[in-house]
Chains A and B, each alone.
Chain A
Amino acid sequence: MSAVLDHPGDHAHGHAHDHPSGWRRWLYATNHKDIGTMYLWFSFAMLLVGGVNALLLRTELFQPGLQILRPEFFNQLTTMHGLIMVFGAVMPAFVGFANWQVPLMIGASDMAFARLNNFSFWLLPVAASLLIVSYFVPGGATAAGWTLYAPLSVQMGPGMDLAILALHLMGASSIMGSINIITTILNMRAPGMPLMKMPMFCWTWLITAYLLLAVMPVLAGAVTMVLTDRHFGTSFFNAAGGGDPVMYQHIFWFFGHPEVYIMILPAFGIISEVIPTFARKPLFGYSSMVYATASIAILSMIVWAHHMFTTGMPVTGQLFFMYATMLIAVPTGVKIFNWVATMWRGSMTFETPMLFAVGFIFVFAIGGFTGLIMAVAPLDIQIHDTYYIVAHFHYVLVAGSLFALFSGTYYWIPKWTGHMYDERLGKWHFWASMITFNITFFPMHFLGLAGMPRRYADYPMQFADFNAVVTIGAFGFGLSQLIFLWMVIRCIKGGAKASDRVWENAHGLEWTVPSPAPFHTFETPPVVK
């Protein structure tokens, strides 16, 4: 692989790009590393915006009664928190990882379509601005919940139109991003790297990209129908004209359930990279991992109505969706088994990436179990739309997707910046996040089981104590993320010089290029042996 190493700094072979500098470097960016960086910063900014929304909600819920927010505004905040976190923070963060890592891991010089890549990114800030502007239009932002259920979404004010437009833009961005990722992975792997030798992160992203391509357009269709119901006299979901609001739920969840796997499969990929490195053993059951990922993706398309057990489905339907949903736990279990087996008798060390990865397995498993409980239709009828659901999806999304994103950041940031991060800050970040996360979300299980409904600005007296605890935990969790920001800034500014391989047992092409990874890498494809 010496062809790789003697490369940086010498661009004598007709590749003399002039790199624009200043703001132009970013606006016109076509380099996968620059675009990846922008995705990551954008999603972190959205994490903070969504986080502020959440802390406002939690402040209101600190005590029973209405203190600081009007209920209408509370509902807007709930909706925006969900939309911003899902479409602004988690999804773009994974695309950011794909941009940085996929070409480095498969030995490609860049993404397949560099200009398209630039366009995909720049749609996002536009969409985010639309969402934020929608707070200030008459009637305020949409308050229909992140699922934008009809009939509310058909009735809301102009804030809803802005949200629909924003969703269209973000959807288009993801679709273009997926096309780029699929093409890059399928066509641009280094010679000697068949699909079944590809790093697991690339596999999970390949499958995720196909899922995105299959369901994101369906969401676009659903919100387009809402839009025409609102303004052009159609009646897809409008009962007044013979439409059916439950139809919206069917179409939405046809997108919505695969969407939750879109947010977790790349996380599985990151964890599958981190654990072998720090257990100093190759990943256990590589091919079963690939098949498990693919089966999760396929199964995820036939379980959508487990979100709709209370809509009056016939019993046969409930049974089908109940068993199909439980079936997903099997490939998910295979994955968890493989990670644990990878660690089994490994010589493990617990640097921050590994801490987050092990923490991920632990808390994600809790979320998986609550998922199984909700998959049981008769139980779900009790707990649907309570805080139990809120607890479930924060265990899988925050402790799942977000912790995996942190794990990946600590793992690869030395490659991105050329500096080691401050291990002490990393450990502080992990323990603070882990503890405050559980203080925030664990009590929600009990609140839900006791019957506290989600998406309300107020609650009866008997829920007061647990809600106070939850709010305190939430502020702790929010503040813990400032440690992360501080760590990232310090790591960019300086720190111990990172070696090329960075981690003792790291395998993969990305560790063969210098740290920081130079602007151009793998212009001559490496040969994988």
Chain B
Amino acid sequence: MNDRPPAPDTRALNLRMFGRLVVVAVVMFGFGFLLVPLYDRICEVTGLNSLTRADRGAAEFARNTQVDRSRTIVVEFDANGRGAWKFRPEVASLEVHPGELVTVVYDLENTRAAPTAGQAIPSYAPRQSAAYFRKLECFCFRQQELGANETRRFPVVFVVDPKLPKDVNTITLSYTFFEVGGKAAAAAPQPGRGAGRGLGG
């Protein structure tokens, strides 16, 4: 790197470095995509965010648990369909005792004249109750496929852990039934919808 830069050797050095740095950029672009399976793996290994995984210990747990008749918990059932579904629980709420084995039924109708697959995602309010809500059986453990215009009844069998914190008296179990393989458009019908609605605040 003497007299007159960029001297030919500097030029070659620069180009070599350019090549290397471009590779870094391309690799990092790929890394962005790699983060998706990476996070999925982490969630799987650590059991985070696995809302739909079957609870293998639940049946065993239900068998060995005392029913606590001194406490009554109100469990509310909620259902939301995303896509061509009619989806609702047969009862809106139940009073249960912790430790008691309970079965409720959800009705799901495929309103489309074609077979459609879907996946239910549960969520709980209050959030900390999720850990105490043990499901022995649930349609949310796997994808469900319904034939054209088919209606099906799905049982949910659960037991509320008696260790549920004392200040929780009501648990809301809410399912959202998503269409699988549907385009983004299925959830968000018209473009500009977000912009058009405003905040209402």
- Identify the A interface with B (CB < 8 A): 13, 70-72, 75-76, 108-110, 112-113, 138-140, 142-144, 151-152, 154-159, 175, 178-179, 182-183, 186-188, 191, 213-222, 225, 229-230, 233, 235-236, 238-242, 244, 246-247, 250-251, 254, 312, 314, 456-458, 523-525
Q: Are B121 and A72 within 8 A (Cβ)?
A: no
Q: Are A156 and B194 within 8 A (Cβ)?
A: yes
Instruction: Report A-chain residues with C-beta under 8 Å of the C-beta of B165.
Output: none
For B186, the closest partner residue in chain A by CB is: A240
Instruction: Report B-chain residues with C-beta under 8 Å of the C-beta of A220.
Output: 29, 32
Instruction: Report A-chain residues with C-beta under 8 Å of the C-beta of B35.
Output: 218, 221, 247, 250-251, 254
Q: Are B199 and A213 within 8 A (Cβ)?
A: no
Cβ-Cβ contact count across A and B, 8 Å cutoff: 177
Instruction: Report B-chain residues with C-beta under 8 Å of the C-beta of A182.
Output: 17, 21
Residues 97-140 of B contacting A (Cβ, < 8 Å): 119, 121, 127
Can you list 6 A-B pairs with a CB-CB distance of less than 8 A?
A112-B18, A157-B193, A187-B13, A235-B184, A314-B48, A456-B199
Closest 4 CB pairs of A and B: A221-B32, A139-B192, A157-B192, A240-B187
Q: Are A218 and B28 within 8 A (Cβ)?
A: yes
Instruction: Report B-chain residues with C-beta under 8 Å of the C-beta of A215.
Output: 28
Instruction: Report B-chain residues with C-beta under 8 Å of the C-beta of A238.
Output: 184, 187
Q: Are B195 and A217 within 8 A (Cβ)?
A: no
Could you tell me the distance between the alpha carbons of A482 and B172 in the complex, rounded to whole angstroms?
57
Q: Is B57 an interface residue (CB 8 A)?
A: no
Q: Are A217 and B28 within 8 A (Cβ)?
A: yes
Known A72-B195, A72-B198, A236-B36: A242·B178 in contact at CB below 8 Å: yes
For A212, the closest partner residue in chain B by CB is: B25
Instruction: Report A-chain residues with C-beta under 8 Å of the C-beta of B4.
Output: 13, 523-524
Could you tell me the distance between the alpha carbons of A356 and B10 in the complex, rounded to whole angstroms?
38
Could you tell me the distance between the alpha carbons of A439 and B1 in the complex, rounded to whole angstroms?
53
Could you tell me the distance between the alpha carbons of A70 and B180 in the complex, rounded to whole angstroms?
36
Q: Are B191 and A158 within 8 A (Cβ)?
A: yes
Residues 11-41 of B contacting A (Cβ, < 8 Å): 13-14, 17-18, 21-22, 24-26, 28-33, 35-36, 39
CB distance from A497 to the nearest CB of B (A): 30
CB distance from B144 to the nearest CB of A (A): 13
Instruction: Report A-chain residues with C-beta under 8 Å of the C-beta of B194.
Output: 143-144, 152, 155-157
For B5, the closest partner residue in chain A by CB is: A109
Instruction: Report A-chain residues with C-beta under 8 Å of the C-beta of B31.
Output: 217-218, 221
Known A213-B24, A222-B32, A251-B32: A240·B191 in contact at CB below 8 Å: no
Task: Write out, one digit per residue, whether chain B residues 177-201 have a CB within 8 A of any chain A CB (1) or not (0).
Answer: 0111111101110011111111111
CB distance from B4 to the nearest CB of A (A): 7
Identify 14 new A-B residue pairs, CB closer than 8 A, beyond the known A72-B197, A175-B25. A71-B199, A138-B191, A155-B191, A179-B25, A183-B18, A214-B24, A215-B28, A217-B28, A220-B32, A222-B32, A238-B187, A251-B32, A314-B48, A457-B201
Instruction: Report A-chain residues with C-beta under 8 Å of the C-beta of B64.
Output: none
Q: Are A230 and B184 within 8 A (Cβ)?
A: yes
Q: Are B201 and A456 within 8 A (Cβ)?
A: yes
Q: Are B14 and A113 within 8 A (Cβ)?
A: yes
Known A112-B14, A188-B1: A140·B29 in contact at CB below 8 Å: no
Instruction: Report A-chain residues with C-beta under 8 Å of the C-beta of B196.
Output: 72, 139, 157
Q: Are B28 and A188 within 8 A (Cβ)?
A: no
Partner of B191, one of A112, A139, A254: A139
For A229, the closest partner residue in chain B by CB is: B184
Could you tell me the distance between the alpha carbons of A457 and B194 in the complex, rounded to whole angstroms?
15
Q: Are A240 and B192 within 8 A (Cβ)?
A: no
Q: Are B2 and A191 within 8 A (Cβ)?
A: yes
Instruction: Report A-chain residues with C-beta under 8 Å of the C-beta of B199.
Output: 71, 75, 456-457
Could you tell me the distance between the alpha carbons of A138 and B119 in the complex, rounded to whole angstroms?
33
Q: Are B17 and A240 within 8 A (Cβ)?
A: no
Q: Are B32 and A525 within 8 A (Cβ)?
A: no
For A210, the closest partner residue in chain B by CB is: B24
CB distance from B48 to the nearest CB of A (A): 6
Q: Are B198 and A71 within 8 A (Cβ)?
A: yes
For B33, the closest partner residue in chain A by CB is: A221
CB distance from B78 to the nearest CB of A (A): 16
Instruction: Report A-chain residues with C-beta under 8 Å of the C-beta of B127.
Output: 312
Q: Is B167 an interface residue (CB 8 A)?
A: no
Partner of B33, one of A110, A225, A314: A225
Known A183-B18, A240-B82: A71·B184 in contact at CB below 8 Å: no
Q: Are B3 and A183 within 8 A (Cβ)?
A: no
Could you tell me the distance between the alpha carbons of A140 and B195 in the complex, rounded to whole angstroms?
7
Instruction: Report B-chain residues with C-beta under 8 Å of the C-beta of A151.
Output: 187-188
Q: Is B70 an interface residue (CB 8 A)?
A: no
Specify which of A158, A225, A230, A238 lies most central, judged by the most chain B CB atoms within 10 Å of its CB. Answer: A238
Q: Are A70 and B198 within 8 A (Cβ)?
A: yes
Known A215-B28, A458-B201: A76·B195 in contact at CB below 8 Å: yes
Q: Is B83 an interface residue (CB 8 A)?
A: yes
Specify which of A183, A219, A244 lies most central, judged by the most chain B CB atoms within 10 Å of its CB. Answer: A183
Instruction: Report B-chain residues with C-beta under 8 Å of the C-beta of A142.
Output: 195
CB distance from B83 to the nearest CB of A (A): 7
For B176, the closest partner residue in chain A by CB is: A239
Q: Are B21 and A242 within 8 A (Cβ)?
A: no
CB distance from B79 to the nearest CB of A (A): 16
Known A138-B192, A143-B194, A220-B29: A241·B39 in contact at CB below 8 Å: no
Specify which of A113, A241, A523 lies most central, judged by the most chain B CB atoms within 10 Å of its CB. Answer: A241
Could you tell me the distance between the alpha carbons of A217 and B191 in the complex, rounded to whole angstroms?
27
Residues 122-172 of B contacting A (Cβ, < 8 Å): 127
CB distance from B56 to the nearest CB of A (A): 21
Could you tell me the distance between the alpha carbons of A225 and B33 in the complex, rounded to whole angstroms?
8
Residues 49-85 of B contacting A (Cβ, < 8 Å): 49, 82-83
For A184, the closest partner residue in chain B by CB is: B14
Could you tell me the distance between the alpha carbons of A217 and B32 in the complex, rounded to whole angstroms?
7
CB distance from B37 to the nearest CB of A (A): 11
For A156, the closest partner residue in chain B by CB is: B194
Could you tell me the distance between the alpha carbons of A251 and B200 in the complex, rounded to whole angstroms?
29
Instruction: Report B-chain residues with C-beta under 8 Å of the C-beta of A13.
Output: 4
Q: Are B187 and A239 within 8 A (Cβ)?
A: yes
Instruction: Report A-chain residues with C-beta under 8 Å of the C-beta of B119.
Output: 242
CB distance from A185 to the nearest CB of B (A): 11
Known A113-B14, A156-B192: A239·B21 in contact at CB below 8 Å: no
